[in-house]
């Protein structure tokens, strides 16, 4: 995915005892579909080890960070902030403009505008809506933040993330029409 600036995903609003799998799947979806890293906020930080372990086994690069103060993290972000919310503007109307800012113009050494993609769990603080450069909705119907992230990344990368090359992998899944096969590298 040459010519694109980095994308990091910030997971906020993790509810202990309820969101362990969901938060892990946000990180794994971010990794699998082309993001460069995930930032886990507050009590979600305990999922960092699981996501890092998958990256160690199946390759990267993919960074896992944590923060105790997600609102300060967003406020201090150098990246353009994209908040995925069902209350936002339709992704199909805004993504071409966002993609143009994210994609390098060929003369830029930085490869375009980096993105911090914010996905929440329960009630997202209003400060996130105010700070976001883009409040985008994959649909204006209730749905999963994992689904919203997957659709957003696939549309951002136009499917190119599906052909991503993984480095430093200990294991690789071998595509098969039936059955499962994982090989050690």
Comparing 14-18, 126-130, 163-167, which segment has the lowest mean pLDDT? 14-18
Q: Is the model's pLDDT at 98 over the cut of 50?
A: yes
How confident is the model over 40-53, as a mean pLDDT? Answer: 91
Superfamily in which the 7-184 domain is placed by CATH = SPOUT methyltransferase, trefoil knot domain (3.40.1280.10)
pLDDT band with cut points at 50, 70 and 90 for residue 20: confident
Residue 8's pLDDT is 97
Residue 113's pLDDT is 87
How confident is the model over 2-27, as a mean pLDDT? Answer: 88
Q: What are phi and psi of 64, to 5 degrees?
A: -120, 120
Query: What is the average pLDDT value for the chain, to the nearest integer?
Result: 91
pTM higher than the cut 0.85: yes
Residue 122's pLDDT is 78
Report helix angle 48-58 to 20-32, nearest 10.
30
> Vertex 118, ends 116 and 123: CA angle to 5°?
160
User: Element (H or E) spanning 25, and its range?
Assistant: helix 20-32
Cα 163 to Cα 100: distance, rounded to the nearest angstrom: 21
Q: Where are the domains of the chain?
A: 7-184
How confident is the model over 68-85, as a mean pLDDT? Answer: 96
Cα 41 to Cα 10: distance, rounded to the nearest angstrom: 7
Residue 107's pLDDT is 44
How confident is the model over 87-112, as a mean pLDDT? Answer: 78
Give percent of the chain above pLDDT 70: 94
């Amino acid at each position: 995915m040459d010519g694109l600036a980095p994308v990091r995903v910030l997971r906020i609003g993790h509810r202990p005892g309820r969101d362990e799998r969901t938060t892990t799947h946000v990180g794994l979806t971010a990794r699998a579909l082309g993001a460069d890293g995930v930032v886990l906020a507050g009590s979600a930080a305990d999922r960092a080890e699981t996501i890092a372990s998958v990256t160690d086994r199946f390759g990267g690069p993919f960074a896992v960070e944590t923060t105790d103060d997600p609102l300060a993290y967003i406020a201090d972000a150098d990246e353009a902030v994209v908040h995925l919310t069902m209350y936002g503007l339709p992704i199909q109307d805004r993504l071409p403009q966002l993609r143009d800012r994210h994609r390098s113009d060929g003369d830029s050494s930085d490869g375009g505008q980096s993105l911090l993609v914010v996905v929440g769990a329960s009630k997202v603080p209003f400060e996130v809506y105010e700070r976001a450069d883009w409040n985008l909705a994959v649909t204006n119907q209730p749905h999963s933040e994992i689904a919203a992230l997957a659709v957003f990344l696939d549309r951002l990368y136009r499917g190119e993330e599906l052909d991503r090359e993984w480095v430093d992998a200990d294991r690789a899944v071998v595509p098969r029409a039936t059955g499962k096969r994982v090989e050690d590298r």
